[in-house]
Structure 1
Amino acid sequence: MPPLPLLRLPRLVQCEIFKLLSIGEKIQLSFCSKKVSTQINNARFYSQKVIVVLDCLNEKINVHSENNKETFEITTFWKNHRGGFLSVIRYLLKMFQCKISISNNYNSDLFQPTISMLFDLQVEFKKLTILLTGSKDHNLLWNQISKKLELVEDLKISSVPDPGFRPVFTSWPQTINIWRSYWFNLEYVLTCTCSRITLELSNLGNQDLDEILKNWKAGGLPNLKHLRVGSQRITNNGTAILGMAPLELQEKEIQTDDGSKKATINTGFQIFEMFFEMLIYQSVHVA
């Protein structure tokens, strides 16, 4: 069988061929020549969607298909570690429709420049984990990304105890999970537009939860699907929540004032604190 004249084929035919290639095959083919690479990049919007998992600590990049059936690993060996790592990421962004996943890499020198570049390029994140300590570098990074958090599907924040720590949110991710969330007070919750909010080591107490539930019942927090709070300030003998002690809310079903949504409440103990969990769903009206 004669060789396929790939570069002389019409663009739509090329796109169909590129669709048939695996992630690894497409990356390897792009190395054949600059012209091949350009043609693959031109067909980016016909390309498969991938998750690019960045391991800044070990300078590795894994490219996964959305269903995780395909994966291709890239290890960088540039003398200029930062330049090499960032150039590979930019190379992949030109080739695929990418979402980025990066976690527990904040101790790497590559972490901050990588995150900064990706937000500047308006790249979407499947998962992003960051550390906020109130340091100058962390504050600079937060000021940059806090305006564009709508690019993030799942944001995880780890922070350190600091009474003066109050990051400002000018946008919100789809879901947020905060470890040491002592600073995420009632005002943050009531203005948050996330669909899932998870707060561990929180300072929220019974009165705060009562305010949150009353707000939700009145039509507030319209995007919320799931709320979980773990806090030592949730006590069974403290202020009533919707007229009940926290443990009385276990498996309790509540609904909004207009009846459009319902929620199931779970409460209990975890390690050294109580937890409060709320799962929200649409009411089903039978004609």
Structure 2
Amino acid sequence: MPPLPLLRLPRLVLCEVFKSLSIGEKIKLSFCSKKVSIQINNAQFYSQKVIVDLDILNQNIRVHSENNKDTFEIYTYPGSWNSHNSNTHQYPIAGCSAPVITTPTGIKIFWKNYPEGFLSVIQYLLKIFQCKFSTHIRLYNSDIYQPVISELFHLQLEFKKITISLNGSEQRNLLWSKIASNLGLVEELRIISVENPHVRPVVTYWPEKISVTSFYWFQSLLACTCTRITLDWLHLDNKDLDEILRKWKAGGFPNLEHLKIDGQGIKIIGTTILEMHLWELAGMVIQTDDGSKNGTIRIDTGSIEMSVTSFH
């Protein structure tokens, strides 16, 4: 059977062909020629949306579908590779020619300029897919994360999730300031803060979802406008829980749809919450003072969840 003249297909048919391909097939097909790469670029808005997980510390990338069923891994390495290896091919990526080796789960790419190569792969993916990014910024090595995060925000790219560990260092505070000033591009923010009373947020725009593990953020979060709030604090107790629920009843947390609080200080027998013991709240439906919302409460050991229903 003669090969299919792919680029001669009508544009709409070609777009349907691209839609039927897996993530890895699209990426590998784009390497075939500049013409194919251009056609995939032209058809990218017919393509599926993908999440791009960035392991910035190790310079690895995992591209997956929104349902996580279709995945492709890209490993980037410094230096070059033996060009005589039968598994190695030279491919143009973002204007550079790089050795590429196929693996069972993805590809390995070797770069002479390692940091620039990582960003080049990101730029290449943006030409093929509609991307949202996700990354975990770990406790140390802020200098590694800064250029990548800054460049992605400079390009006004959207993040599905950012997880950041805060330690109060000058470099990490600068990185946090960059993220905090761009939270309009972030859907979910998870903050892992060391127990340091000096590590406190300055937030002018709240993301859709937030998760925090530091008690020292408590007062700042009372002004939170997120739809989903998760608080995982060892020091949070019944008194704090009472303050949060009273704040919600009075009209605070205006966009809240789901609240989850974990804390070793939350006790079945302890300070009353909304003038009730904790166990009395189990399964209860509470209402805002203006009657516009109901909150259904579920109690578990050391934790409480509330799902909100709005009548507007």
Tell whether the 8 Å contact from 1:105 to 1:111 is kept in structure 2 after alignment: no
Deviation for aligned residue 1:74? 1.3
Counterpart in 2 of 1:241? 273
Contact 2:159 2:187 in 1 (8 A): yes
Q: In the alignment, what sits opposite 1:33?
A: 33
Deviations 1:65-95 (A, max 9, x none): 2222221121112232211111101110121
Whether 1:225 and 2:253 are equivalent positions in the alignment is no
Structure 2 residue 303 is matched with structure 1 residue 275: yes
Aligned to 1:85: 118
Cα distance in 1 for residues equivalent to 2:288 and 2:24:
50
Amino acid at match of 1:176: I
Q: With the length of structure 1 as denominator, give the TM-score of the two structures.
A: 0.84
Corresponding residue for residue 183 of structure 1: 216
Match of 1:135 among 169, 186, 190: 169
Unmatched 5+ stretches in structure 2: 78-110
Deviation at 1:163, TM superposition (A): 1.8
CA deviation profile, 1:7-31 (whole Å, cap 9, x unmatched): 4555444323322222112111211
CA RMSD of aligned residues (A): 2.6
For the 8 Å contact 1:126–1:154, the answer to whether it is kept is yes
In structure 2, the CA distance between the partners of 1:230 and 1:24, relative to structure 1 (3 Å rule), is: closer
Contact 1:230–1:275 (Cα < 8 Å) also in 2: yes
Contact 2:64 2:70 in 1 (8 A): yes
Q: CA deviation at 1:119?
A: 1.9
Q: CA deviation at 1:157?
A: 1.0
Range with bigger deviation, 25-34 or 225-234: 225-234
One-letter code of the match for 1:250? A
Structure 1: stretches of 5+ with no match in the other structure: none
The alpha carbon displacement at 1:158 in A equals: 0.8
Identity, % of aligned positions: 60
State whether structure 2 residue 158 is matched by structure 1 residue 158. no
Other-structure match for 2:296:
264
Residues 232 and 82 from structure 1, CA distance in 2 versus in 1: closer, same or farther, beyond 3 angstroms?
same
Instruction: Determine the structure 1 residue equivalent to 2:135.
Output: 102
Pairs aligned (count)? 278
Pair 261,223 (structure 1): closer, same or farther in 2 beyond 3 Å? same
